[in-house]
Chains A and B, each alone.
Chain A
């Protein structure tokens, strides 16, 4: 009985220590990535290549998701507002929710699933096949050559993808509200224009997606670099990227929203 209790306390202690040391490693790793960013300036080609695979190749899923999210938002807003005769405000609801919340958050969630998991798998596989060790032995710093360009590409891509998501979402909303439900086009745009603030809404949304990009890319590259180099370890690391990434996005979204939009 006592032994059982002691074992549990010991396991709790081990678990806590392991989690803390992992957090410490992640921070040390982030510092190494920052140090690696300066060396990368000499090789812009590495960044461009990663911007393509991290950003451009995520574009299709972002555009399709954005379009349908915008369309659904317009439909829901219309059904809710039409009872009050306020259907002209559909655009305000669509645009504000896209810019403030849905754009950054859904983009980040999709990014974690599509690009984040790919980053973890790619770096983890390079570790498992000794490519990272091989680079080290060739006197090439793998954090600088492999990790830093991928991390920076993630941070740069996220706000751009979120902006595209929101823009396409607004177009989707327009299609449903104006073309399908027959609202007035002028009212749609003028209502949106009168209610959307440049910094308050657009700016804060961009800041959110920049923070999400930073955190998701950090988690993705760290999980890949720190994974156990076996097929099982790699699978677990990829799962962790998506799970931790998604949770971090949702928790940070609450924190940022509370800070940004408090009156």
Chain B
């Protein structure tokens, strides 16, 4: 079995005139946590949707477990997705179902297990994320962090080979952030699967990642182990990791020189 679970080659994708990815290559290993980091708006979530087959690239290929995901028939794609888990930023829980029913949903859809077995599985999954006691609550009664944990329990319901986390730490208080970091790490280690964490929270993500890709302006600007990234002398990586206001990503939005602009205004008034 190949060590690489997801192989991305020559990926190009654009929305309208805006190029999101321009010739991106990536290898994501079968086990361990791979972090994909970059500033907001670089297309990190888009990348996950491309891997999940929800979007189609303009060029290039994405292979998941040896299968080119964009050449699969719908039925084959759905079969492959049964082995993928995805955690959306909002949790994406079904609002008309309880916490228990949300976690039971993929099990009921894809297996013919009896009710007792479904219950046992759901309770075990909920216990793993510490929310067995919340099984009768509705999604509206959960905090953002709890909703993500329920979504995690749902994502591991069918024992997938990989889980994709879309910005799991965004908008969380320090405690639930700590809980999520610990959970991603412990689930990955316990299930020995591939976890892909898309995030711009540098500290939390680097603390659990085994391998890191940094993307910006449509390309991979740096990749390697967290230690490699920390010791990188790339100007771009330094700006992102240290949160510097100015650098390769400029502080000022593209504009003509200040003097010209001021002069243009006074000219306009006079005219």
Instruction: Write the residues of chain A forming the contact surface with B, with a CB cutoff of 8 angstroms.
Output: 126, 129-131, 133-141
Contacts and interface: CB of A to CB of B under 8 A. Distances in A.
23 contacts: A129-B90, A129-B92, A129-B95, A130-B88, A131-B92, A133-B49, A133-B54, A133-B88, A134-B88, A134-B92, A134-B93, A136-B52, A136-B81, A137-B52, A137-B54, A137-B81, A138-B105, A138-B154, A139-B79, A139-B109, A139-B110, A140-B105, A140-B109
A136 B94 CA distance: 12
Interface string B47-86: 0010010100000000000000000000000110110111
B10 interface: no
Nearest to A129: B90
Nearest to A128: B90
A130 B49 CA distance: 12
Contacts of A130: 88-90, 92
Contacts of A131: 92-95
Given A133-B88, A134-B86, A141 B95 contact: no
A139 B72 CA distance: 14
B39 interface: no
Nearest to A130: B92
Interface size class of B (residues with CB under 8 A): 20 to 34
A130 B85 CA distance: 14
Contacts of A133: 49, 54, 88, 92
B83 to A, nearest CB: 9
Given A134-B92, A140-B105, 17 more contacts: A130-B88, A130-B89, A130-B90, A131-B93, A131-B94, A133-B92, A134-B86, A136-B54, A137-B81, A138-B81, A138-B105, A138-B106, A139-B78, A139-B79, A139-B81, A139-B109, A141-B78
A139 B78 CA distance: 5
B140 to A, nearest CB: 11
A137 B90 CA distance: 14
Contacts of B85: 137
A138 B54 contact: no
A73 to B, nearest CB: 40
Interface in B151-184: 151, 154
A141 B110 CA distance: 12
Contacts of A139: 78-79, 81-82, 106, 109-110
A240 B154 CA distance: 35
Contacts of A141: 78
A137 B95 contact: no
Contacts of A129: 90, 92, 95
Contact of B84 (A134, A137, A140): A137
Interface in B126-157: 151, 154
A126 B96 CA distance: 10
Contacts of A140: 105-106, 109
Contacts of A126: 95
Nearest to A140: B109
Q: Which of B79, B90, B92 has the most CB of A within 10 A?
A: B92
Contacts of B81: 136-139
Nearest to A49: B96
Contacts of B89: 130
A126 B90 CA distance: 12
Nearest to B48: A137
A130 B105 CA distance: 16
Closest 6 CB pairs of A and B: A134-B92, A130-B92, A139-B81, A139-B78, A137-B86, A130-B88
B259 to A, nearest CB: 31
